[in-house]
Amino acid sequence: MSTNNTHVVVDVDVATARQMVSEGAVLLDIREPHEWEAGHSPDAVFLPLAWISDARASIPAGTRVVVTCHSGNRSRVGTEVLLAHGYEAFNLAGGMQAWVDAGETLVDMHGNQGAVV
């Protein structure tokens, strides 16, 4: 068996993500600013994918992290980066679109009902 520097990304569904967040995990939204402003979970922390390497400045080491984007593709990349930095990180399967489809709340930058863009 050979080893390499790749990390296995584990996908979680919305119900699991919600449970993890209620238990103290960080819901990390890595979408672009205009996507965040249009609609995000009120429980989420915003850190665009381009800045993901700076996560240690805003998320304490040892914190469980559920990473989300629009549909789950960019968040897979972000999850890989966090895993490489030693975080216990998970990818939200289906991203914020799955979040909304499951009936979870989104707010815009003014606190009103948000939308996934």
The number of domains in the chain is 1
What average pLDDT does range 77-104 have in this prediction? 96
Whether residue 79 is contained in a domain is answered as yes
Q: Is 101 one of the catalytic residues?
A: no
Domain holding 43, by residue range, is: 11-101
Amino acid at 89: A
The CATH number linked to 54 is: 3.40.250.10
| Whether the Cβ atoms of residue 66 and residue 12 lie closer than 8 Å to each other | yes
Q: Is residue 114 part of a domain?
A: no
Catalytic residue among 59, 69, 89, 106: 69
Q: How many CB atoms lie within 10 A of CB 62?
A: 8
What pLDDT score was predicted for residue 53? 85
pLDDT in tens, 33-70: 999 999 999 999 999 999 998 888 889 888 999 999 99
What Cα–Cα distance (Å) separates residue 102 from each residue in 16, 54, 63? Answer: 12, 30, 25
Asked if residue 107 belongs to a domain, the reply is no
